[in-house]
Chain A
């Protein structure tokens, strides 16, 4: 768990905030990992801010970043550190995080940077008190509890899954180590059934992951639409401040404007964008491009339509383009007399079953309909599930580990169903899954497996 051998990565800035976000990589191979992410041919210069880009991954947009390299021991952790500052969108940051992991970094444990800093003598005692609990903790499990209340429930959940798996493993191990005992420690059909149960429980837990992550990391909501439909007015009302300039000139908003707001307890970064249209000067064209990029990373889109005028071709194009995305279609200016044939639902874009379009009518001028709009945003983010349920799993590291565990278990189930693989191969998959649980929760040894066997069965030849 807390080995200092490998390089670790995490988002170092508070979750969800707009503006700038920092991804920090620490460890002996941080420079190599950074080289794998950044589109920068030369090695990073120590303690220099280098303007560069994230290396393109397929057709997606590549974000501009500032990368800074701090050779150890003159760094936050005392190790070799690379910090990458990017636009604050959690989606962008998460993307960088994923790339770093793909390049060989490990997702950091909570507090692990500080732990390393302390171990390397970079922090004083007062600062280190936050991690003292962790160092004193007798078990990884206690450490976990010390760090995060939320994860107490998670530990219990995983512990339960692990117990089921552990019993199965003990039985299989017993049949390998005690072949002439004349016991049927476990029947083949039973193996398939038991693995199936474990997979099911695990999948239920993983299903809570998006919600958990949402609560922990927040989300990005992007306001989109053609010029003058009232995007900035709606944005201002949602953030509760006159943050964006509002005029009756089409093309008022040029750049992205982000503001963090609390929507029903969720940390939401609202992003106002330039209205999309072909025309305009160089500045506006750049703004329109940025708007397009922002739309791509949004967790939910608000597509604004002016209800007082007939639909225009830009509206139609945007509605079609966003049909498959989680979105809320907002008909604005309902305080004005409606134009006929401005019901956008049904006639535009294929209805998407995964993200059914919600239509909300509001007036940014009077504030009518905003309660519905807020509800619609929350529903769009959470998939209509209640947030009152405890979010079981929220930490990206846990999600990654549990996904790996599931993959191993699914492989084990497939091979036991086929009746093809010998037990020790099956066990290799099951043990791999358990090793992942151990990383989340704590450790149990082969000695425990043996103890379990001897408690249950009379082994005697």
Chain B
């Protein structure tokens, strides 16, 4: 077979990549072992959370799948940080993991451009430093113009439960062995990371009501009026399950301490580096001895399944210790374990070997996306998948790259962090990574990105018409606030927007008093109002932020020629030359964010680049 784009892996990165490329008109081969693993959630059955929710909104604004999928199959919804400002509001939802996977599978099946390739991917075939085909382990061969690899944690994945170890593939076979060898053969820098997952419990073995009335479980309710992830969701969302909060106790602490020697994390069996922001139970107890107790959440994994996910309780201790630990938790004395928790070690490719399109420097038209680039989380994976899919399809047709800046989207920050800094631990998005956080809100993700999505060809007529209407409505509402005169407490008449800038004045109360009438939509009412109020109230801050972003963009526009020899620049230290040559920044801005590259070095480089001889090279296509 012959495809424009082949995507290997149908996890959260792979499905977005395949979908985007297909929507852009490419013939796509989606290679996966079986339909069962499509959009699988092997860990936490949830989408969103701080900064991750932003990523999902952005994916949606660019026509991706994740937002619609979670709105359609979420079973409990919550807007985090609601008591704070709209810039850090972030949606999170519990997913029905089976229905989520099914929804995505069906969405892909509706795309006529996507063909499934079932089987194990083998070797990447390259001619003249460019991908030409994918060879399958079973001997099949598929030609392609661009190849996106999204194999997640499957590169030399190794699962640890106590002293038990098993390869993290299907049926106990080593996963993607040939693929791992093939990737290595190009000389990419690889590293080893670790992540973990908690035990799953049977829901019928837990008496939630009793534990709640005993006061050991506290219900964590969803929002009364859930805010959707997708800009296209019109129907109201419903919470269909209950989640519960409980706490660890002294018995848990003593059990962990007593058995720490049998934890692969602490006895040297595991070498990979785990995420600090998501420590295992072992780390929580050993590294923070002063903390009396830790929070644990019980989260159902779906409506039709019995699994309860024990959030905050990930571990790699032996099965029998896990049993004791679960039973030591209040309210779980007789809970039965469906599957034990485990740690998984896997290879990742240092993403500093990638361009801002996620294409590799070493092999043309070969793209890497998702967890294999060192990130954690479905949302980070999906965001990369989308960008890789877009750029693979553009590369397949000889179109130029599509990238997003740090001031435009969290997706831009994600990619930029990965390619300039690399990963020392699994990378997770945080709002504190965004230097222009005030500009990157969930309420304006569509205003920021949908026009770009439309230009690419990812936004269909219907969605575009809806977007245009919403953009007009937003502008009209701002205009109304500027033109409507309202009375202050002292009786003066001022524009509503002026009044709103005063401390303590709220848009909602102005509307309740009937002083201003705005045109806002049902489901997204809260968000629309917040976004308007925010834009008016903090106009000064937003303007400052926008000015700073513009200054930064100037640096981003200063390009470094492809294959530039950094060693030729006089005045750069050897260490700086080393890092620059390794990471190969495409712009002066990227260069300035590489650890070890000093501001003085950036100045030296900048001036050198401005020399007529170098500048001429840049003008050539």
Q: Give the CA-CA distance A460 to B81 in the complex, in Å.
A: 17
Which of these, B288, B430, B608, B610, contacts A458 with CB under 8 Å?
A: B288
Task: Knowing A425-B438, A459-B279, say if A177 contacts B430 (CB, 8 Å).
Answer: yes
Can you list 18 pairs linking A and B with CB atoms under 8 Å apart? A2-B602, A3-B599, A115-B603, A119-B571, A140-B599, A173-B430, A176-B50, A422-B85, A423-B84, A423-B88, A424-B85, A425-B438, A428-B437, A428-B438, A450-B430, A460-B278, A460-B284, A460-B294
Q: Does A461 belong to the interface (CB within 8 Å)?
A: yes
Are the C-beta atoms of B51 and A428 separated by less than 8 Å? no
Which residues 577-621 in B have Cβ within 8 Å of A in the complex? 598-604, 606-608, 610
Q: Does A180 belong to the interface (CB within 8 Å)?
A: yes
Are the C-beta atoms of B604 and A119 separated by less than 8 Å? yes
Which chain B residues border A3 with CB–CB below 8 Å?
555, 599, 602-603, 606
Say which size band chain A's interface belongs to: 35 or more
Q: Does A179 belong to the interface (CB within 8 Å)?
A: yes
Which chain A residues border B437 with CB–CB below 8 Å?
424, 427-428
Are the C-beta atoms of B600 and A424 separated by less than 8 Å? no
Q: Contact mask A264-279 → B, CB, 8 Å, 1/0?
A: 0000000000000000
Q: Give the CA-CA distance A87 to B88 in the complex, in Å.
A: 54
Q: Give the CA-CA distance A115 to B606 in the complex, in Å.
A: 13
Which residues 1-22 in A have Cβ within 8 Å of B in the complex? 1-5
Q: Does A178 belong to the interface (CB within 8 Å)?
A: yes
Which residues 348-378 in A have Cβ within 8 Å of B in the complex? none
Which residues 212-253 in A have Cβ within 8 Å of B in the complex? none
Which residues 469-503 in B have Cβ within 8 Å of A in the complex? 503
Which chain B residues border A178 with CB–CB below 8 Å?
50, 277
Which of these, B87, B421, B545, B603, contacts A119 with CB under 8 Å?
A: B603
Which residues 122-178 in A have Cβ within 8 Å of B in the complex? 134-140, 143, 173, 176-178
Which chain A residues border B438 with CB–CB below 8 Å?
424-425, 428
Which of these, A120, A134, A173, A461, contacts B600 with CB under 8 Å?
A: A134
Which residues 434-455 in A have Cβ within 8 Å of B in the complex? 443, 446-447, 449-450, 454
Q: Does A189 belong to the interface (CB within 8 Å)?
A: no
A455 to chain B: closest residue by CB: B276
Which chain B residues border A138 with CB–CB below 8 Å?
573, 575, 598
Q: Give the CA-CA distance A179 to B277 in the complex, in Å.
A: 13
Give me the 8 closest cross-chain CB pairs, A-B, nearest first: A422-B85, A2-B603, A458-B288, A454-B276, A119-B607, A173-B432, A1-B599, A420-B503
Q: Does A418 belong to the interface (CB within 8 Å)?
A: yes
Which chain B residues border A135 with CB–CB below 8 Å?
571, 600-601, 604
Which of these, A139, A143, A177, A423, contacts B50 with CB under 8 Å?
A: A177
Which residues 272-295 in B have Cβ within 8 Å of A in the complex? 276-279, 284, 287-288, 291, 294-295
Q: Give the CA-CA distance A181 to B247 in the complex, in Å.
A: 12
Task: Knowing A137-B600, A461-B311, say if A176 contacts B606 (CB, 8 Å).
Answer: no
Which residues 511-561 in B have Cβ within 8 Å of A in the complex? 538, 541, 544-545, 554-555
Are the C-beta atoms of A1 and B84 separated by less than 8 Å? no
Are the C-beta atoms of B291 and A458 separated by less than 8 Å? yes
Q: Does A182 belong to the interface (CB within 8 Å)?
A: yes
Are the C-beta atoms of B600 and A179 separated by less than 8 Å? no
Are the C-beta atoms of A461 and B295 separated by less than 8 Å? yes
Which chain A residues border B607 with CB–CB below 8 Å?
4, 116, 119-120
Q: Give the CA-CA distance A1 to B279 in the complex, in Å.
A: 37
Which of these, A2, A181, A423, contacts B599 with CB under 8 Å?
A: A2
Are the C-beta atoms of A177 and B431 separated by less than 8 Å? yes
Q: Does B226 belong to the interface (CB within 8 Å)?
A: no
Residue among A138, A140, A176, A423 with max Cβ neighbours from chain B (10 Å): A176
How many chain B residues touch A (Cβ–Cβ < 8 Å)? 51
Are the C-beta atoms of B297 and A461 separated by less than 8 Å? yes
Q: Does B312 belong to the interface (CB within 8 Å)?
A: yes
Beyond A119-B607, A173-B432, A454-B277, 16 additional pairs, beta carbon < 8 A: A1-B599, A2-B602, A3-B603, A5-B555, A116-B607, A118-B571, A119-B571, A135-B571, A137-B600, A181-B295, A423-B88, A424-B431, A446-B433, A446-B435, A450-B430, A459-B278
Which of these, A173, A418, A424, contacts B503 with CB under 8 Å?
A: A418
A414 to chain B: closest residue by CB: B503
Question: How many A-B pairs with Cβ below 8 Å?
Answer: 134
Q: Give the CA-CA distance A459 to B428 in the complex, in Å.
A: 13
A451 to chain B: closest residue by CB: B276
Are the C-beta atoms of B297 and A425 separated by less than 8 Å? no
Are the C-beta atoms of B421 and A428 separated by less than 8 Å? no
Q: Give the CA-CA distance A424 to B440 in the complex, in Å.
A: 12
State the main secondary structure of chain A at its contact with B.
Answer: helix
Q: Give the CA-CA distance A116 to B276 in the complex, in Å.
A: 43
Which chain B residues border A450 with CB–CB below 8 Å?
277, 430, 432-433
Which chain B residues border A136 with CB–CB below 8 Å?
573
Task: Knowing A177-B431, A182-B295, say if A4 contacts B606 (CB, 8 Å).
Answer: yes
Q: Does B211 belong to the interface (CB within 8 Å)?
A: no
Are the C-beta atoms of B603 and A140 separated by less than 8 Å? no
Residue among A418, A443, A450 with max Cβ neighbours from chain B (10 Å): A450
Which chain B residues border A118 with CB–CB below 8 Å?
571
Q: Chain A nearest CB: distance from B298 CB in Å?
A: 12
Q: Chain A nearest CB: distance from B249 CB in Å?
A: 15
Q: Contact mask B47-79 → A, CB, 8 Å, 1/0?
A: 000110000000000000000000000000000
Which of these, A176, A420, A446, A449, contacts B81 with CB under 8 Å?
A: A176
Which of these, B278, B433, B573, B600, contacts A143 with CB under 8 Å?
A: B600
Are the C-beta atoms of B85 and A425 separated by less than 8 Å? yes
Q: Contact mask A413-434 → B, CB, 8 Å, 1/0?
A: 0000010111111011001100
Which chain A residues border B554 with CB–CB below 8 Å?
5
Q: Give the CA-CA distance A158 to B439 in the complex, in Å.
A: 29
Q: Contact mask A170-198 → B, CB, 8 Å, 1/0?
A: 00010011111110000000000000000
A142 to chain B: closest residue by CB: B598
Q: Does B33 belong to the interface (CB within 8 Å)?
A: no
Task: Knowing A425-B438, A425-B538, say if A179 contacts B603 (CB, 8 Å).
Answer: no
Which chain A residues border B295 with CB–CB below 8 Å?
180-182, 460-461
Residue among A3, A120, A449 with max Cβ neighbours from chain B (10 Å): A3
Q: Chain B nearest CB: distance from A205 CB in Å?
A: 23
Q: Contact mask A107-119 → B, CB, 8 Å, 1/0?
A: 0000000011011
Q: Does B258 belong to the interface (CB within 8 Å)?
A: no
Which chain A residues border B433 with CB–CB below 8 Å?
446, 450
Which chain B residues border A4 with CB–CB below 8 Å?
603, 606-607, 610
Are the C-beta atoms of A176 and B603 separated by less than 8 Å? no
Q: Give the CA-CA distance A4 to B545 in the complex, in Å.
A: 22
Q: Give the CA-CA distance A461 to B437 in the complex, in Å.
A: 23
Q: Does B321 belong to the interface (CB within 8 Å)?
A: no
B576 to chain A: closest residue by CB: A138
Task: Knowing A177-B432, A181-B295, say if A2 contacts B87 (CB, 8 Å).
Answer: no
Q: Give the CA-CA distance A134 to B571 in the complex, in Å.
A: 10
Which of these, B278, B432, B571, contacts A449 with CB under 8 Å?
A: B432
Which chain A residues border B180 with CB–CB below 8 Å?
none
Which residues 404-459 in B have Cβ within 8 Å of A in the complex? 421, 430-433, 435, 437-438
Q: Chain B nearest CB: distance from A57 CB in Å?
A: 25
Which chain B residues border A180 with CB–CB below 8 Å?
80, 295
B606 to chain A: closest residue by CB: A4
Q: Does B504 belong to the interface (CB within 8 Å)?
A: yes
Which chain A residues border B610 with CB–CB below 8 Å?
4
B504 to chain A: closest residue by CB: A420
Q: Give the CA-CA distance A139 to B276 in the complex, in Å.
A: 27
A176 to chain B: closest residue by CB: B88
Q: Chain A nearest CB: distance from B45 CB in Å?
A: 14
Which chain B residues border A459 with CB–CB below 8 Å?
276-279
Q: Give the CA-CA distance A428 to B538 in the complex, in Å.
A: 11
Q: Give the CA-CA distance A460 to B555 in the complex, in Å.
A: 37
Which chain A residues border B88 with CB–CB below 8 Å?
176, 422-424
Which chain B residues border A427 with CB–CB below 8 Å?
437
Q: Give the CA-CA distance A454 to B424 in the complex, in Å.
A: 14
Which chain B residues border A447 with CB–CB below 8 Å?
421
Q: Chain A nearest CB: distance from B43 CB in Å?
A: 13
